[in-house]
Chain A
Amino acid sequence: MLGPDIVWYLAVAAFLFATGALGVLLRRSPLIVLLSLEIMLNGANLALIAFARLHGEASGQIFALAVMAVAASEVVVGLGLIVAIARKRIDLDVDKLSFLRG
């Protein structure tokens, strides 16, 4: 294969996943938490496609496409929730969203 080995792609995927996890844990705006979740999903997608290339088996790409569809639905529901929260004039801060606490 031309270019770098699969292990380099996996390193990029691991860094992306860690960056996304950092954003999810660190940020308080739910919009940026959703964006960081997207980064984590994309890191997983890159690993899936790298392994699909390693084994010469296109099923990994099918899985990546399914992850993409799940990510799209997750964004739809998440943005719907955020808009519904903002419409109730509640502060958009994940530390203050404790309505459902028992």
Chain B
Amino acid sequence: MGNVVVWAVWVVAAFSCLASGIAVVSFTNPFFSALALIGNLASLAVLYLLLSAEFVAAGQVLVYAGAVMVMFLFVTAYLGGRADAPWAGGPSWQQFGAVLAAGAILVEVIVVIGLKAGGRLSHEAKIDGSFGSPRQIGTLFLTDHLLAFEITSVVLLVAAVGAVILGAHSRRPGTTAGVIHEREVRARP
């Protein structure tokens, strides 16, 4: 009985995950694409829960579907989100190449997974109830993976500083943004 329920949840989550992923790529309006990505992230969080990664699922909903997507929606609303039809003007050689390359990546990944790990993928390790709990993740982060933890904080700091520099539109001569601005003004026809 429990198995059937888990299968049903998996089928719904995986289907909505793939459908919203395709919707992100095919919607013309960036605002609708961003909304579809929120659905994609939420259904991925359900898949993470099924893989007993509770903390990552919570982080996914909070960080991604919460913070990152709100920022995306703000920027899309700010820029007006002009429509961009993916298939406008019939298929060109570029679009043909894009579909071909994406299909090649898919086939490649599936073949590699099948060849390297085909037989071993149905024997999961035994886990106890604390697998993926906040306590275990926190312990791992502050013992075995302390360096990764610190480097992550540096990466986030650098990204924040970079965003501030990109957003500051200083026109004063001498500053980096001012120099870039002058160069662009000169290059403009």
Residues of chain A whose beta carbon lies under 8 Å from any beta carbon of chain B = 1-12, 14-23, 25-29, 31-32, 34-36, 38-39, 42, 45-46, 49-50, 52-59, 61-66, 68-77, 79-84, 86-88, 92-93, 99
Contact = CB atoms under 8 A, between A and B. Distances in A.
Contact of B124 (A10, A19, A53, A88): A53
Given A17-B109, A19-B22, A21-B105, A87 B169 contact: yes
B53 A52 contact: yes
B115 interface: no
A56 B59 contact: no
Contacts of B155: 69-70, 73
B21 A20 contact: yes
Interface string B131-169: 110001100110011001000100110111011001101
Contact of A8 (B14, B55, B131, B166): B14
Interface of B: 2-3, 6-7, 9-10, 14, 17-18, 21-22, 24-25, 30, 33-34, 37, 40-41, 44, 47-48, 50-53, 55-56, 59-60, 63-64, 67-68, 71-72, 75-76, 78-79, 81-82, 84, 86, 95, 97-99, 101-103, 105-106, 109-110, 113, 121-122, 124-127, 131-132, 136-137, 140-141, 144-145, 148, 152, 155-156, 158-160, 162-163, 166-167, 169, 184, 187
Contacts of A69: 152, 155-156
A23 B25 contact: yes
A14 B101 contact: no
B67 to A, nearest CB: 7
B10 to A, nearest CB: 5
Nearest to B101: A25
